[in-house]
Amino acid sequence: MTELMIETRNLTKKYKGARAVDALNLAIPQGEIYGFLGPNGAGKTTTIRMLLGLIRPSSGVVQIFGQDLKRDRIKILRRVGSLVEYPSYYGHLNAVENLETIRRVLDVPKARIDEVLHTVGLTKDAKRHVKGYSLGMKQRLGIAAALLGSPELLILDEPTNGLDPSGILEIRELIKKMPKEQGITVLVSSHLLSEVEQMASSVGIVNQGKMIFQDTISNLQRKAGSEIHIALSDAEAAMIIVREQGCFARLEEGKLIFKGIDNGQIARLVAALVDARHSIYRVEERRKSLEDLFLNMTASASGASMGGISQITGGHSGAPRGAGLPKEVAQ
Amino acid sequence: MIGKLLSTDLLKMRRTGIWWIVFIGPVGLAAMQALNFGLRYDYLVRDHYASDPWSGLIEETSMFVPIAVYLAMTLLTAMIANVENRQNSWKQTLALPVRRSQVFASKFLACLIQLLAACALLAVSMLTVGLLLKFSGPIPYLDLLKLGVYPMLAALPMLGFMLWMTLTLRNQAIPISLGIAASLSSVFGGAMPDVFPLAWPAVVLGNGEEALRYAGFGITLFAVLYLLGSIHFSRKDVA
């Protein structure tokens, strides 16, 4: 069992009665890149601010490195690097001076400034005033600041927000290197699943302050499931043959759609269909995109989580198999 | 830790023009008196204050000191807070392994250092004016220092209030307006009842025997306001 870097229990934040974060249970193992997903306003930033001690939870417990945040805030924060939302910087100072303001507090050697600037590729612009930086450069400076104290845990809130594609790629590569090269655990929040999918090893999905899914990314992909689509000349007539083969299909736009059938079954089906003089145009596997899955999960959020689960499986027809219960249903 | 924080705060103030305020205030006051005494030399130095031109200089300046001190407190706290407020750097500063009370203390100390520097500069520039105008009599070094420091101590409650306002409010227009309004009304401090804190710098300047007592009041009220501000700052949510 790997050690948990971050663990929250029933973490709740109320604003004037409304629950921005509602009984959230985060569990982030060591060495992972944890993608913290949710639509805008789901409570991601609020959660992250609570993890950093910037705002006080209404109730619940935050444990980082196995220590209670309330009691050992300073000890914990010494080992955490963070970038919350859009970058914080002092525009009238240059990159080195910006980092120096943090270095003096963290009390790390001056050489670290050059190291982190090199890591994020800002060495060339180190002496320029930060207000002249592009958003991407400011964001990289923010990451440099987060890395300055050689943290064991990196908390990045929407680090690629507002960046152009090449900037996003750069930041993503940077984040992916962290666990491998320096053994850093990373919590990265985003509202884009496609993005988290490309770097995270595990994910937590929140909506309206509640955790609706928390598992590894591969389990999430498995839940998405796949379908076999067969496009052919006379789909309705073909349904009879399908039934004779002992398979169940649903008809959609002149295509037969199968769920959860194996290679042997597909081969037999196709052979039987060809024997029956059907022209087969296309046999394709369609993975349900994670984006759909994500949307389904989040759209069905308010209250009835059971309703959401049937939607995840497709919701149209057929047995709900292949897409089980989300492991972590918010209580 | 306070020392480290203070050094970062002073670093953050580079190129913000904050030291210009420290410089312009006292030098401006001195320049004004240089003009006053230079243009009316015969009347002021040879006639009106002939017996003791130094105390004349101090007296003429003293009516402008309260407003200068209040304005300086308003502008300095606003500028110090602005460094963090502008790019909402609070979330970065306060996510560092530091106590919030120490962050608050460091901002206060930075401001206090600047105010004391301004007081010292006031004494030096007044001395220069007196020497340039070839005042006779012994130079009252202590009175020149007191000219800035005592009213500053008596005005400290304002600093406690402004520190709290500027460091906790996002909208700096509110503390700045209040600060300027207070500065302007402090001109009439002499006409206010002595229990009114805004009048204390004027009381200190007008009444030599009461000076220490009212400076003490200023420090005491400041301590209370500072404590309340620091507690609130330590507990509030950082947006």
Nearest by CB to B95, which of A75, A82, A92?
A82
Report which secondary-structure segment, H or E, holds A257: strand A255-259
Q: Number of folded domains in chain B?
A: 1
Give residue A164's pLDDT band: very low, low, confident or very high (50, 70, 90).
confident
pTM summary value? 0.84
Q: Hey, is A26 helix, strand or coil?
A: coil
Chain A contact residues (CB < 8 Å to B): 49, 52-56, 73-78, 80, 82, 84-85, 87-93, 97, 100-102, 104-107, 142, 145
Please give, rounded to a whole number of angstroms, the shortest distance from the CA of A60 to a CA of chain B: 16
Reading the block at residue B82, the tokens are: 């602005």
In this prediction the ipTM stands at 0.89
Q: How far apart are CA A92 and CA A102, in angstroms?
A: 15
Q: What percent of chain B has pLDDT over 90?
A: 82
A69-90 burial code (b ≥16 CB/10 A, e <16): beeebeebbbbbbbbbbbbbbb
Reading the block at residue B221, the tokens are: 């009220």
Give residue A223's pLDDT band: very low, low, confident or very high (50, 70, 90).
confident
Q: Are residues B113 and B16 in contact, defined by beta-carbon separation less than 8 angstroms? A: no
Provide mean pLDDT across the span A254-280. Answer: 87
- Give the residue from A49, A104, A131 with the most B CB atoms within 10 Å of its CB, the best one to mutate: A104
Q: How far apart are CA B127 and CA B41, in angstroms?
A: 16
Q: How many interface pairs between A and B have CB atoms less than 8 angstroms apart? A: 83
Interface touch A93/B15, C-beta < 8 Å: yes
Reading the block at residue A14, the tokens are: 């109320």
- Give the residue from A47, A49, A54 with the most B CB atoms within 10 Å of its CB, the best one to mutate: A54
Nearest by CB to B97, which of A78, A84, A89?
A78
**Mean pLDDT score of chain A:** 84
DSSP E strand stretches across A39-103: 59-64, 67-68, 80-83
Nearest by CB to A105, which of B16, B83, B98?
B98
Provide mean pLDDT across the span A16-44. Answer: 91
List, for residues B197-239, the tens digit of each pLDDT value: 999 999 998 877 888 999 999 999 999 999 999 999 999 998 7
Pairing outcome for strands A153-157 and A185-190: parallel
> Position A29: which residue type?
P
Interface touch A93/B4, C-beta < 8 Å: no
Q: How far apart are CA B180 and CA B190, in angstroms?
A: 18
pLDDT at A185: 94
Q: Are residues A313 and A323 in contact, defined by beta-carbon separation less than 8 angstroms? A: yes
Give residue A300's pLDDT band: very low, low, confident or very high (50, 70, 90).
low
Q: How far is CA A255 from CA A227, A228, A234, A283, in A?
A: 12, 10, 9, 10
Interface touch B83/A49, C-beta < 8 Å: no
In B86-190, alpha helices (H): 90-93, 100-132, 141-154, 156-168, 173-185
Of the candidates A24, A6, A3, the residue with the CA atom closest to the CA atom of residue A206: A24
Give residue A250's pLDDT band: very low, low, confident or very high (50, 70, 90).
confident
Interface touch A89/B12, C-beta < 8 Å: no
pLDDT at B115: 96
Report which secondary-structure segment, H or E, holds A156: strand A153-157
List, for residues A28-38, the tens digit of each pLDDT value: 999 999 999 98
List, for residues B86-113, the tens digit of each pLDDT value: 888 999 999 999 999 999 999 999 999 9
Ramachandran sector of residue A62 (left: φ over 0; alpha: ψ -120 to 50; beta: rest): beta
Q: Which of the listed ranges A167-181, A219-233, B38-52, B69-83 does the model predict with the highest average pLDDT?
A: B69-83
Provide mean pLDDT across the span A70-74. Answer: 94
What domains sit in chain A, N to C, each tagged with a CATH number? 4-79+151-222+294-305 (3.40.50.300), 226-287 (3.30.70.100)
- Residue A321 sits at the vertex; the CA angle it makes with A320 and A326, to the nearest 5 degrees, is 85
Q: Hey, is B233 helix, strand or coil?
A: helix
Interface touch A55/B238, C-beta < 8 Å: yes
pLDDT at A301: 53
Of the candidates A15, A213, A52, the residue with the CA atom closest to the CA atom of residue B98: A52
Gyration radius (Cα) of chain A, Å: 24
Reading the block at residue A265, the tokens are: 């079954």
Give contacts of A142 with chain B, Cβ < 8 Å. 92
Q: Hey, is A88 helix, strand or coil?
A: coil
Q: How far apart are CA A187 and CA B6, in angstroms?
A: 31
Enclosing domain of residue B34? 2-235
The residues, any chain, with a CB within 8 Å of residue B22's CB and separated by 6 or more, are B72, B76, B114, B117, B118, B121
Q: How far apart are CA A116 and CA A151, in angstroms?
A: 12
pLDDT at A41: 86
The residues, any chain, with a CB within 8 Å of residue A272's CB and separated by 6 or more, are A241, A244, A245
Give residue A317's pLDDT band: very low, low, confident or very high (50, 70, 90).
very low
DSSP E strand stretches across A184-225: 185-190, 202-207, 210-216
Count of Cβ atoms closer than 10 Å to residue B171 Cβ: 9
Residue with tokens 């190291």: A115
Picking from A203-212, A216-225, B200-209, which range would have the lowest pLDDT averaged per residue?
A216-225
Pairing outcome for strands A185-190 and A33-37: parallel
Q: What percent of chain A has pLDDT over 90?
A: 44
Report which secondary-structure segment, H or E, holds A258: strand A255-259
Q: Hey, is A301 helix, strand or coil?
A: coil
